[in-house]
């Protein structure tokens, strides 16, 4: 007898794919970030992860830059910035919120560097802004200074995270967990070269560097982060916004 051909499997027997949503796309992007680094968070890579075509993703996310900003916003949900910590005065609590923000970025070095230009606009970012404004208001900082100051605080915190992430170190004593950490050996070599250059400066040509080579490189990263935040807060509180006074 002739063997009967194998009966084709009906598509109806296959489990249906979950419907695409922006939340699902961002969740998949965060998973790829944790496993492979931000460089792999692309439309093509997510399309593979979600078993769909890249064109389908553009219905929910305009471009890769918007996707990276959405990933940053999602991870801001781990900062715990809203409500603000209840212990300590307003300056200490503001410092605690920004330190938590830096810690989050340190866990993902490539995201820390991207955050210098990313423009998140999601709920977690709004919560962070609201918390910072509330703490500045509690400290009696005039509203117009607080409005400008929030941007300066986040710029300082983000730049600090990006700098230390590039060196493969953290300002909190944690090790990088992001798969895309770049070349730590190159960053260490650059830092060593800078250290040698500062300590080797001659007082005849660079008297100020020669006198301050030690202090220029002194302090643990967490100490420098805390001091920088305090310095920025003090500047915000005492520097009028043009045209406001």
Residue 170 confidence (pLDDT): 39
Do residues 60 and 66 touch, judged by C-beta distance below 8 A?
Answer: no
- Compute the average pLDDT of residues 6-25: 67
Which residue has tokens 């900082």? 141
CA distances, 38 to each of 34, 64, 66, 133, 210 (Å): 8, 11, 13, 30, 40
Report the distance separating Cα 193 and Cα 170, nearest Å. Answer: 20
Q: In the predicted model, what is the mean pLDDT of residues 39-56?
A: 93
For residue 14, pLDDT over 60 is answered with no
pLDDT given for residue 190 in this prediction: 84
Higher-pLDDT residue of 138 and 186 is 138
Q: Over pLDDT 90: what percentage of the chain?
A: 62
Q: Are 150 and 132 in contact (CB under 8 A)?
A: yes
Q: 25 — phi, psi (to 5°)?
A: -65, -45
Q: Omega into 83 within 30° of 0, i.e. cis?
A: yes
CA distance 201 to 95: 35
Mean pLDDT of 35-64: 93
| pLDDT above 60: residue 153 | yes
| pLDDT tens track for 177-234 | 444 545 556 777 888 899 999 999 999 999 999 999 999 999 988 899 999 999 999 9
Report pLDDT for 218: 92
pTM, two decimals, is: 0.79
Instruction: Report how far Cα 81 is from the mean position of its chain's Cα atoms.
Output: 14
What pLDDT does residue 177 have? Answer: 46
Amino acid 191: pLDDT: 82
Structure confidence at residue 84 (pLDDT): 60
Asked whether residue 156 carries a pLDDT value surpassing 90, the answer given is yes
pLDDT for res 167: 61
- Flag whether pLDDT at 83 surpasses 80: no
As a whole number, the mean pLDDT across the chain is: 84
């Amino acid at each position: 007898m002739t063997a009967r051909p194998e009966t084709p499997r009906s598509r109806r027997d296959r489990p249906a794919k979950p419907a695409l949503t922006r939340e699902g796309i961002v969740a998949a992007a965060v998973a790829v970030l944790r496993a492979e680094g931000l460089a792999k968070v692309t439309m093509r890579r997510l399309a593979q992860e979600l078993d769909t075509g890249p064109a389908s993703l553009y219905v929910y996310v305009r471009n890769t830059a918007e996707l990276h900003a959405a990933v940053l916003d999602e991870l801001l949900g781990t900062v715990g910035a809203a409500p603000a910590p209840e212990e300590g005065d307003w300056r200490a609590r503001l410092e605690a919120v920004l330190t938590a923000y830096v810690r989050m970025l340190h866990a993902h070095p490539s995201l820390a560097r991207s955050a210098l230009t990313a423009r998140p606009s999601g709920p977690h970012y709004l919560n962070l802004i609201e918390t910072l404004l509330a703490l500045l208001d509690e400290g009696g900082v005039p509203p117009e200074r607080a409005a400008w100051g929030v941007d300066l605080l986040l710029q300082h915190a983000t730049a600090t995270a990006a700098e230390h992430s590039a060196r493969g170190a953290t300002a909190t004593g944690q090790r990088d967990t992001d798969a895309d950490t770049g070349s730590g050996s190159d960053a260490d070599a650059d830092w060593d070269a800078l250290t040698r250059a500062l300590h080797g400066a001659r007082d005849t040509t660079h008297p100020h560097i020669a006198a301050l080579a030690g202090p220029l490189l002194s302090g643990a990263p967490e100490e420098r982060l805390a001091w920088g935040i305090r310095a920025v807060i003090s500047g915000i509180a005492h520097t009028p916004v043009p045209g406001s006074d």
